[in-house]
Amino acid sequence: MKAAAKIISGAEYLIALTGAGVSRESNVPTFRGVDGLWRNYDPMQLATPHAFARDPKLVWEWYSWRQALIAECDPNPAHTTLAEWEANAILRCLITQNVDGLHRRAGSEKVLEVHGDLWATKCSSCGYRGRLDSPAVGIPLCPECNSMLRPNVVWFGESLNRDIMTRVHEELSLADVILVVGTSALVQPAASFPLVVKYTGGKIVETNIEHTPLTPASDVHVSGKAGEVLPLLDQLL
Ligand code: OAD
């Protein structure tokens, strides 16, 4: 913990990468692991363009269920610590794979949501982009062309948003330390972001309840729950 705090305190440009583990203590299910979503649901039936083309109602039911679940969740001390670090200019940018919006709800503003936003929609045929303010009912339709809207999240087999990726790469090139919180580091390209920082001379601090493929490349690994580790780290800065 002390070693991690020392690296964070000494950082000139600290960024963070978060995954589902940062929201676990807010009761948002992770994807992998014991009670992970992908243990009980098949991503190929729910989170691919092909799945949406085949059964849009099923896909929307799944997203509506997650929207309702997340609407009941609140940010936890991991989210609030990261938001405070941004407000105090300790943290320059937060890259998240999460679509739950909890970082923004905790007050983080410089957030790059590389896998999209659970509440955002886009039209399956025209360029319309929208936002739901409550869980979807049935299949929402485009107000401009009446085609089906789809969740504006990144599905398996899809590319990440080009503008967001440009900003991610700018941040990775500026960062001298990346704090990696609660990701299994199994999904590309996000899993490689910390390595970009490392290979340009920066450091990786990882915190997770388990070891990941990123652990051997990390300068420090802090074992523990994000909602406990981050406030403790904060006290050591
Ligand atoms: P995963 O579910 O793959 O991994 C969650 C990680 O969080 C694991 O390494 C756990 O050990 C760790 N974890 C669990 N509870 C924790 C806690 N309380 N504190 C700290 N760590 C904890 O989630 P991601 O790595 O985010 O993509 O998954 C990456 C992507 O795979 C997701 O964004 C999603 C999924 O398919 C898309 O939907 C495109």
pLDDT in tens, 160-182: 999 999 999 999 999 999 999 99
- For 208, residues 6+ apart whose C-beta sits below 8 A from its C-beta are 21, 180, 181, 182, 183, 215, 221, 223
pLDDT tens by residue, 133-162: 999 999 999 999 999 999 999 999 999 999
Ligand 1, atom 13: nearest CA belongs to which residue? 21
For the question of residue 115 being annotated catalytic, the response is yes
DSSP class per residue in 95-140: EE---S-HHHHHT--SEEETTEEEEEEEESSSS-EEE-SS---SS-
How far apart, in whole angstroms, are the C-alpha atoms of residue 194 and residue 148? 37
pLDDT tens by residue, 9-34: 999 999 999 999 999 999 999 999 77
**Ligand 1 atom closest to residue 156's alpha carbon, by position in its atom list:** 39
Pocket of ligand 1 (CB under 6 A): 19-21, 24-25, 30-33, 36, 47, 97, 115, 154, 182-184, 186-187, 208-210, 212, 225-226
Catalytic residue among 79, 103, 115, 221: 115
Mean per-residue pLDDT, 64-82: 97
Ligand 1, atom 2: nearest CA belongs to which residue? 31
Contact (CB, 8 A) for 164 and 114: yes
Residue 37 is predicted with a pLDDT of: 87
| Res. 88: pLDDT tops 90 | yes
For residue 24, the CA-to-ligand 1 centroid distance in Å is: 9
Omega before 189 cis (within 30°)? yes
- For 52, residues 6+ apart whose C-beta sits below 8 A from its C-beta are 59, 124, 150, 155
Residue 123 is predicted with a pLDDT of: 98
How far apart, in whole angstroms, are the C-alpha atoms of residue 123 and residue 147? 7
| Res. 192: pLDDT tops 90 | yes
β-strands 116-123, 14-18 pairing: unpaired
